[in-house]
Structure 1
Amino acid sequence: MRVSAGDDDALALPSRSSQQLPRSQFPHGGPRQGCRCSPPPMSLDRLLSELAANAERLGRRWEAAVRKRRRHGSRAACEGLEDKKADAPIQLHTPLFYATCALGGLLSTGLTHLAVTPLDLVKCNMQVDPGKYRDISSGFGVLLQEQGLGGFFKGWMATLVGYSSQGACKFGFYEFFKKCYSDIAGPEHAEKLKTFIYLAVSASAEVIADIALCPMEAVKVRVQTQPGFARCLTDGLPKIV
């Protein structure tokens, strides 16, 4: 059945025969109802602006929820309600605060270095034997041919333990030294010397973090570059000791 565009009655009330037609005969998903037309396609600029507006609204809601939770935790602490202590935020410069920072460094640094173990393995072998491992692509090819897929993660345990220790010390001692050096400078000079204080804080934390990493790095490099030295950290560290 053909329906003309000017037939208002046919457009408003389609006949029974038109309702029985398959949907494939209607390019817009079905017969037109009334005089309503399909909406125009949304432009890219309008789509991006709406997404940005939605993201901003979600951010404001999230911020309001966080502030409400903090106020609720502070009120519960003042009233002495023991069952509400879990909602209170972690106080700055407390052992729990430093432990939380260390845990964040442990997870972020250890897991990210574990993920790039194959690349680090090729890099170390290129430095030790540049004739055999000429570049990254050929290095991966040599490892795959000689050791299989399992060879790409040789030394993974030393990498995980070493860089987890480094990240924990780096994040934790950074916050500790920042409080310590700021107290030494005093409140009247801490803001003026903030850049130099932060440089000293980063250097101090990095020294401790690299000392924690050094034994594991020694085991990792030997496991990765000296065939037959050890299988992993558990038998490589006792040999060095």
Structure 2
Amino acid sequence: MEEMRGARQGGSSLVKEFSPAYYGLCAVGGMISAGTTHLAITPLDVLKVNMQANPIKYNSILSGFSTLLKEQGPSSLWRGWSGKLFGYGVQGGCKFGLYEYFKRLYSDVLMDQNRNFVFFLSSASAQVFADVALCPFEAVKVRVQTQPTFANGLADGFPKLYKAEGLTGFYRGLVPLWGRNLPFSMVMFTTFEQSVDLIYRNIIQRRKEDCSRSQQLGVTCLAGYVAGAVGTVISNPADNVVTSLYNKKAENVLQAVKNIGLANLFTRSLPIRIAIVGPVVTLQWFFYDTIKVSSGLPTTGGLGRHQEATDLLA
């Protein structure tokens, strides 16, 4: 089994692939890429959450921004920024780091399985843990963004929510959060992996190892955008349910679905989510793979060579 791959284009790897240091680097890369990109799009996220919580008042992107600015001022657009930075930073570290770990683990154990099954299982396993880490941050963030008098941020929001609802208040939306993020993560990672393979095989028509670092990062960006857009459509219904539950517009998932309406589950806030998630996922993959490449590691995409050989034999 290959334990270490040299860096492409003559570089030297600072860490061994599949070593504890490698998974630590992946976790740090995921934390930085997810935290910074989610922080950057806080204004769009504030509008999205308010459009979901009050669709009559915030019925379009332009009028929604106008209403927020007029009624609450420019600072309202950055409400919940700390939840975005730290919450999604922690989630990103778990998601990317554990995805690399589980992909290696499952590709060794399930060598006779289809590659897509390995991608699905790896991303789902990682996302379960990532959402447990994210959930408390998300609970406070949604309240801060939609209830201006609730709290200013995480520092005062955490103790206030705990005092009012206890630990259950932080995890009220965990199941719908899994409902949103598990399908998104499974589709996003698998679409990314398949898109990378498709681009190298059918468009560039060269192996990844034969491409320059800039070409590899270009493939990462293109595959990342496709993966983000596809995942957004799949996860939109659950995203609306999460907002409804954390805003106490409904007491359970069934009531939230009934209140929102089946058609609205798929369409409400979808344009702004695509505007948010597509570029965010693209930048996440770009930052993440840039960190890996800077450490002498290959960009993300595909399984180990032993798995590729197994696929060819099958």
TM norm. shorter chain > 0.5: yes
For residues 235 and 217 of structure 1, the distance between their equivalents in structure 2, rounded to whole angstroms, comes to: 14
Instruction: Choose the corresponding residue for 1:127, options 37, 52, 56.
Output: 52
Counterpart of 2:135, as a letter, is C
SS in 2 for 1:103: helix
The corresponding residue for 1:237 is 158
For residue 182 of structure 1, report the CA deviation from its aligned partner.
2.3
For residue 183 of structure 1, report the CA deviation from its aligned partner.
2.8
Counterpart of 1:213, as a letter, is L
Instruction: Choose the corresponding residue for 2:117, options 157, 179, 196.
Output: 196
**1:142 pairs with 2:67:** yes
For residue 147 of structure 1, report the CA deviation from its aligned partner.
2.2
For residues 231 and 197 of structure 1, the distance between their equivalents in structure 2, rounded to whole angstroms, comes to: 42
For residues 166 and 194 of structure 1, the distance between their equivalents in structure 2, rounded to whole angstroms, comes to: 25
The corresponding residue for 1:161 is 86
Instruction: Choose the corresponding residue for 2:76, options 151, 161, 169.
Output: 151
Instruction: Choose the corresponding residue for 1:110, options 35, 55, 65.
Output: 35
Looking at CA atoms only, which structure, 1 or 2, has the larger radius of gyration? Answer: 1
Give the TM-score of the pair, scaled to structure 2.
0.47
The corresponding residue for 1:20 is none
For residues 100 and 78 of structure 2, the distance between their equivalents in structure 1, rounded to whole angstroms, comes to: 33
- Deviations along 1:95-116, one digit per CA (max 9) or x if unpaired, are 1101110111111111111111
**1:214 pairs with 2:135:** yes
For residue 126 of structure 1, report the CA deviation from its aligned partner.
1.3
Counterpart of 1:169, as a letter, is C
> What percentage of aligned pairs have identical amino acids?
51
Aligned length: 156
For residue 140 of structure 1, report the CA deviation from its aligned partner.
0.6
For residues 170 and 129 of structure 1, the distance between their equivalents in structure 2, rounded to whole angstroms, comes to: 31
For residues 114 and 57 of structure 2, the distance between their equivalents in structure 1, rounded to whole angstroms, comes to: 51
Give the TM-score of the pair, scaled to structure 1.
0.61
Counterpart of 1:230, as a letter, is A
Counterpart of 1:126, as a letter, is M
Write 1 or 2 for the structure with the bigger share of helix: 2
- Deviations along 1:68-119, one digit per CA (max 9) or x if unpaired, are x43xxxxxxxxxxxxxxxxx53101111101110111111111111111111
The corresponding residue for 2:19 is 94
For residue 227 of structure 1, report the CA deviation from its aligned partner.
2.5
More moved, 157-166 vs 127-136: 127-136
SS in 1 for 2:15: coil
CA RMSD in angstroms comes to 1.7
Structure 1, gaps ≥5 residues long: 1-61, 71-87
Counterpart of 2:157, as a letter, is G
Task: Show structure 1 runs of 4+ deviating over 4 A.
Answer: none
Counterpart of 2:118, as a letter, is I
The corresponding residue for 2:99 is 174
- Deviations along 1:114-165, one digit per CA (max 9) or x if unpaired, are 1111111011111112222121111111111122221110000011111101
For residues 122 and 179 of structure 1, the distance between their equivalents in structure 2, rounded to whole angstroms, comes to: 39
